[in-house]
Chains A and B, each alone.
Chain A
Amino acid sequence: MACSICDMISGKTVCRKLFEDDKAVAFLKEKPAAPGHIIIAPKEHHPIIENVPDFVVSHIFQVASRLSSAIFDTLGAAGTNIIVNNGIEAGQDLPHFTVNIIPRRENDGLNFQWQPKKLDDETLSQLEFKISEMAKGTGDFQQEGQKPINMDTNPETVEDDGENYLLKSLRRIP
């Protein structure tokens, strides 16, 4: 699928890159919400955050925090917004997961504030139950280097590097 962010990462289209490593790329938005608006994207193409591996999510926001510091230190910003629009109904306008960092200044004309909705206690309790049920699986995060198991190859092949605990214990059997 054609993706404008992938094209920027590969260099097919020119962009003002600010940072790049093996997992993430950051660049300056050409049409910013405010001067210094930065976009960070995973190098691999993933449409929404649910598809991005946990360790890449972790890395991207660590980069985002440092870039946020860079904005504080140099652009005279009084604050930053970090915004992810995840899904079309959430305002996502690119097919590639991105994180926006927007420098904020007093009276800069931006306003992301929402009108708070009033909910009664019972509705809140129902929501609490439903969401905490679904949130129960949280915590078992994917680490870098964990690859999905390839069923075609034989996973039982054990390399004898002299350090393998199982092999050692096998040798100990008389």
Chain B
Amino acid sequence: MVTQEEMQNMTPEQIAELQKQNCIFCHIISGRVKSKKVYEDDKVTAILDINPANPGHILLLPKKHYMIMPQMPEDEIGHIFMVAKSLSNALLKALKAKGTNIYVANGAAAGQKAPHFMLNIIPRHANDGLNLVLPEHDMPEQQLEEIHKTLLAKIKELFSLSDADMEKLGPMPEKKEQEAVARESDSAKAEDTKDTEEVAKEDDNAKTEDNADDAGEEETKDNAGNNGDIDFDELKKVLEKDGM
């Protein structure tokens, strides 16, 4: 074992080497520990999780030891996710899965358990008992605004964006606050609010009819993009075609 003091005197390279020596996934990649490999190239290795969320659960690992995604060079990130797309497709075909989850945990607070960065690709079936549904919390406009501003400033720096680039993102939606609120409320309510804002005030009865009969009016058609009105048939067709 290495003591705390010895650690402090080590170079970053030595520490990385030490982490590698203690990483079970590095041993799997090198072949010293057995695994069920489903894909391998010069940059990544894909193995089956032996304690899967669902049968066919793939762990996709960069061959180099990175703890979290932001440590990885961007070309390797691009590569690993293109492989993930292909493996997701392989799961749809091989297992007749009806969907996949691609799941990454960066950091212990995010549920990361191993010290080696990895992608989870999980095949999904109807009523398989898994629940990766993301909760939706209401958030005050002011808080959204603060987060938006904070992130924009950092993103400008990280992507080396010019002021002109930033302007293209559109105005901060302060003046459009009302619309934003309307859009995010549940679909029926949102339609009502928008109708009141955009269409001249008509009597309530007529409005209810509009909502029931979308095909008729352009104005209502525009609102059909709300989450409640998704045409899932097309999505299902695509999935079924891919799943065959």
Contact = CB atoms under 8 A, between A and B. Distances in A.
Contacts of A87: 98-100, 124, 235, 239
A91 B37 CA distance: 27
B205 interface: no
B33 to A, nearest CB: 15
A129 B79 CA distance: 23
A33 B89 contact: no
Contacts of B77: 58, 61-62, 65
Interface residues of A, number: 101
Contacts of B153: 74
A139 interface: yes
Contacts of B111: 79, 81, 104, 111-113
A100 B224 CA distance: 23
Contacts, number: 328
Contacts of A86: 88, 99-102
A129 B225 CA distance: 42
B173 A81 contact: no
B225 A72 contact: no
A41 interface: no
A116 B52 contact: yes
Given A28-B144, A117-B53, A88 B235 contact: yes
B48 A127 contact: yes
Residue among A38, A105, A116 having the largest count of chain B Cβ atoms under 10 Å:
A116
5 contacts: A48-B239, A81-B106, A82-B106, A106-B109, A135-B87
Given A7-B225, A30-B144, A75-B151, 14 more contacts: A2-B221, A14-B183, A16-B172, A50-B88, A57-B85, A61-B81, A84-B103, A85-B132, A88-B99, A94-B227, A112-B111, A128-B36, A128-B37, A131-B90
Interface of B: 36-39, 41, 46, 48-56, 58, 69-70, 72, 74, 77-95, 97-112, 122, 124-126, 128-139, 143-144, 147-148, 150-155, 158-159, 168-170, 172-173, 176, 179-180, 183-184, 221-222, 224-227, 229-232, 234-236, 238-239, 242
Interface of A: 1-4, 6-7, 11-20, 28-38, 47-52, 54, 57-62, 65-75, 77-95, 100, 102, 104-106, 108, 110-119, 123-125, 127-128, 130-135, 137-139, 141
